[in-house]
Amino acid sequence: MKLTCRVKVKNALGLHTRPATLIVKILQDCRSNVTFTYKNVTINAKSILSILMLALRKNSTIIIGVEGVDARETMNKLVEGFNSRFGEA
Amino acid sequence: MRLIKEEIRLKGLPICRGIAIGKPFFFHLTENNIPHYAIEKENVEKEVLRYREALAKARDDIICLKKELGKEHVVEGVQILDAELQMMQDPLLTEDIEDEIRSRASNAESIFQETIDRFQKRFEMITDPLFQERFKDIQDIAKRVLSYLLEKSTVSLSDVPPESIVFAKELTTADIAEANHSCVLAFVSHFGGSTSHAAIVAKAKGIPYVTSIEYEPIESFKDSSVILDGRTGEIIVNPDDETLALYQALKEELDAHRITLRKMQNLPPETYDGYKIGLSANVESLAEIEMLHRFGGHGVGLFRSEFAFPSERNFPSEEDQFALYSSVVKQMAGRPIVIRTFDVGGDKFLGNELIAPESNPYLGCRAIRFLLKESGLFKAQLRAILRASVDGNVSIMFPMISSLQELLEVKGVIHQVQEELVKQYDAIPSRIRIGCMIEVPSAALICDLLAKECDFMAIGTNDLIQYALAVDRGNHLLSGLYAPTHPGVIRLIKLIVHEANKHCIPVSVCGEIAADPRFTALLLGLGVHELSIAARYIPEIKNTIRHTSIIYAKKLAEKALLLSTAQEILDLIHEEYRLHFPNDIFYNV
């Protein structure tokens, strides 16, 4: 199953180290392939370095792609994280 | 890997003579001296494991650190370390690097460093400083991982496998100085001329050295034998049995020859018709004084003061200099020492911020020009030398004098310093012998004028040749033009020696040609009474002097002065040497 979803970065400082760390932690045990696509660049979302190198600022819009057995569950967690600004202001 | 049975012969520029037979070691210089070498297919998994272990150790470090910071409630620090831990599990630093080690069959640290360099470029392109900053975390990880990786591999030449012939793009003085002589048999580099400082150090250490060789084409022969002939500059990769046997025999003969020369140690350096020649040593560190005594040098003909402080970032203080000069003076126990003031600028750079980059450093503000400008530094050095001179036989020499005006200015400064010192210290000598280094053609042409104002002269042939011929001695494209036997150079030497002898002041030759026995008779014939060379070459040159007569030398010089090209003079002295020393396979090739 392959899911895609468009999300917006709401964190004031963008998707910096702390939220990026959280994303990778969320994805640690998931069995799906997860990608972020931003400005035609697609990266492996389990790679914190790749996320940081996207340098996503506040209000950037990315496309999350999830493919695998736990795709639905994984997508839900991620979207929730983005919407709640990963617990930040 | 290709399997080629035939020999591969490469021809480079011989820098330091000698024969070596060993295995190649490719020394890749990056900023951090990250070694780069191929891994055998069957050992690739071991290399992957080595990388994993290094990463795991670095991770353990960070976990420990994180715990400590947690105890101290440094929340931000904990978060950063948490991110670093995630980075260390990042597929880019785990699976990807492991795959690359396998596919490229290269060592872990080189692949790792390349990856980090790639990240750096990516992060540098990011405009947001907040993200750009994150590269610091990666750097921190990189440092830790590399330090664990390098623990078990080679970072410096002090730790290469035995029987290595080191191949590098360029070798620094430190590389050569650090090299463990029992493991490094020879050096090969792409860049670097025969009078570069690295070459001087290789010569002092007696390590064969060939330059102008690109090693990339032979990198795949890392398991083959390599023969280096430092006499001809030939490198033979993958030699056949016949070649190997030939060179092994040659090498044994050379070693035997060197041992016989050692026996000359206590004999005086005089021609066989009784003409005495001064034979002293060029010295750049305290450690070399011991060599001077071992090889039977009379004194220190040239103490290169700037090299005595190799790691200094700033100019050494008067006290530091005084301490060093004093111990040199004491170790020489009354024998003569010529201390040359700092010859900085050009290739002998002291790494000092005071020296701004110049577009043409060899024609720029270096040596005495620099010191006369920075009179505070100059005075500090003169004070240190004068204070140290109390305990021995010390002279001062000034590099790169190009006019009488400069020499007079220098004398003025010495006079000032002496007057100041006499008030502070008791035993400061009222007079110290001062000498001019003659290495600029204008100085050579007015040396009758200079001779009246100084006590001795030393011909620095390395620079004199470069300035007289307008050839950058470090430029490997011009190495063929750097010709010590150029008639222009020979005439300059003759002129200097003639004027010095006429004014009854001693003159020595202290460039590289002084250490080449094929030049010995020519120099003696031109009227040179004193040679100053790296201590290691003293036995060889002494042997040559003792087998030469002054009459023969005079005739040889006369003959040379009649010739019109560098090649003719070179052929003459080589041929004459071959006739007189037919058994010296070291120089007769």
Q: For B79, which residue in chain A has the nearest alpha carbon?
A: A18
The string of pLDDT tens digits covering residues B449-476 is: 999 999 999 999 999 999 999 998 767 6
pLDDT at B49 > cutoff 90: yes
Q: Inspect the interface and report whether the beta carbons of A52 and B130 lie closer than 8 Å.
A: no
Q: For B95, which residue in chain A has the nearest alpha carbon?
A: A47
- 0.80 cut: is pTM over it? no
Q: Are B147 and B125 in contact (CB under 8 A)?
A: no
Query: CATH code at A41?
Result: 3.30.1340.10
pLDDT value of position B1: 46
Interface test mutation site (partner A, options B90, B93, B128, max chain A beta carbons within 10 A): B90
Going across the sheet that includes A41-44, the strands are: A2-8, A61-67, A33-38, A41-44
Whole-angstrom Cα Rg for chain A: 12
Q: Which residues of B touch A49 (CB under 8 A)?
A: 87, 90, 92-93, 119, 138
Could you give the angle at which helices B241-262 and B538-546 cross, rounded to 10 degrees?
A: 70
CB pairs < 8 Å spanning A and B: 54
Pairing status of strand B13-16 against strand B209-211? antiparallel
pLDDT value of position B58: 87
pLDDT value of position B345: 61
- At B83, the pLDDT band (50, 70, 90 cuts) reads confident
Segment B320-327 mean pLDDT: 92
Q: Inspect the interface and report whether the beta carbons of A47 and B92 lie closer than 8 Å.
A: yes
Q: CB within 8 A of B31, min separation 6: which ones?
A: none
pLDDT value of position B196: 65
Q: Identify residues of A whose CB sits under 8 angstroms from chain B CBs.
A: 13-14, 16-18, 20-21, 24-25, 44, 46-50, 52-53, 55, 57
B295 against B412, higher pLDDT: B412
Q: For A16, which residue in chain B has the nearest alpha carbon?
A: B131
Q: Which residues of B touch A25 (CB under 8 A)?
A: 86
Closest residue by Cα to residue B193 from B176, B211, B175:
B211
Place of tokens 């900053």: B133
Domain count, chain A: 1
Q: Which residues of B touch A52 (CB under 8 A)?
A: 131, 134
Q: Inspect the interface and report whether the beta carbons of A16 and B130 lie closer than 8 Å.
A: yes
pLDDT value of position A46: 94
Q: Inspect the interface and report whether the beta carbons of A17 and B91 lie closer than 8 Å.
A: no
Residue B231 half-sphere exposure toward CB, CA atoms < 13 A: 15
Q: CB within 8 A of B511, min separation 6: which ones?
A: B195, B459, B460, B461, B462, B463, B464, B465, B484
Phi and psi angles of residue B526, each rounded to the nearest 5 degrees, phi first: -80, -5
3-state secondary structure B404-468: HHHHHHHHHHHHHHHHHHHHHCCCCCCCCEEEEEECCHHHHHCHHHHHCCCCEEEECHHHHHHHH
- At B314, the pLDDT band (50, 70, 90 cuts) reads low
Q: For A19, which residue in chain B has the nearest alpha carbon?
A: B83
pLDDT value of position B541: 94
Q: CB within 8 A of B465, min separation 6: which ones?
A: B471, B473, B482, B483, B484, B486, B489, B511
- At B178, the pLDDT band (50, 70, 90 cuts) reads low
Give the Cα separation of B149 and B146 in Å (integer). Answer: 5
What ranges make up the beta strands (E) of B199-321? 209-211, 226-229, 234-237, 278-283, 300-304
For B82, the closest of A13, A21, A47 (CB atoms) is: A21
Q: How many CB atoms lie within 10 A of CB B170?
A: 14
Tokens of B166: 């080191």
For residue A83, give its domain range: 2-87
Give the Cα separation of A25 and A11 in Å (integer). Answer: 18
Q: Inspect the interface and report whether the beta carbons of B123 and A14 lie closer than 8 Å.
A: no
Q: For B121, which residue in chain A has the nearest alpha carbon?
A: A53
Q: Which residues of B touch A14 (CB under 8 A)?
A: 128, 130-131
Q: Which residues of B touch A57 (CB under 8 A)?
A: 128
The answer to whether B574 is a known catalytic residue is: no
The answer to whether B436 is a known catalytic residue is: no
Interface test mutation site (partner B, options A52, A58, A88, max chain B beta carbons within 10 A): A52
Distances (CA, A) of B102 to B14, B42, B49, B105, B106: 38, 10, 11, 5, 8
Query: Smallest CA–CA separation between A83 and chain B, in Å?
Result: 21
Q: Inspect the interface and report whether the beta carbons of A47 and B90 lie closer than 8 Å.
A: yes
Q: Inspect the interface and report whether the beta carbons of A18 and B83 lie closer than 8 Å.
A: yes
Quickly count helices (H) and strands (E) in chain A. Answer: 3, 4
- At B352, the pLDDT band (50, 70, 90 cuts) reads very low
Q: Which CATH architecture has domain B8-29+169-258?
A: 3-Layer(bba) Sandwich (3.50)
Give the Cα separation of B267 and A14 in Å (integer). Answer: 81
User: Rounded mean pLDDT of chain B?
Assistant: 87
Question: Where do the structural domains in chain B lie, given as residue ranges?
Answer: 8-29+169-258, 41-151, 275-580
The string of pLDDT tens digits covering residues B396-407 is: 999 999 999 999
Closest residue by Cα to residue B338 from B446, B457, B235:
B457
- Find out if CATH 1.10.274.10 is the number for domain B41-151: yes
Q: Which of B197, B447, B454, B486 is catalytic?
A: B197
CATH number of B275-580: 3.20.20.60
Q: Identify residues of B whose CB sits under 8 angstroms from chain A CBs.
A: 79-80, 82-83, 86-87, 89-93, 119, 122-123, 126-128, 130-131, 134, 137-138
Give the Cα separation of B178 and B187 in Å (integer). Answer: 13
Segment A33-48 mean pLDDT: 94
Query: Smallest CA–CA separation between B30 and chain A, in Å?
Result: 24
Give the Cα separation of B404 and B449 in Å (integer). Answer: 7
| AA identity, residue B419 | E
Place of tokens 């003792």: B546
The string of pLDDT tens digits covering residues B500-510 is: 999 999 999 99
For A21, the closest of B83, B93, B119 (CB atoms) is: B83
Q: Are B352 and B344 in contact (CB under 8 A)?
A: yes
CA A51-A57-A58 angle, to 5 degrees, is 125
pLDDT value of position B346: 43
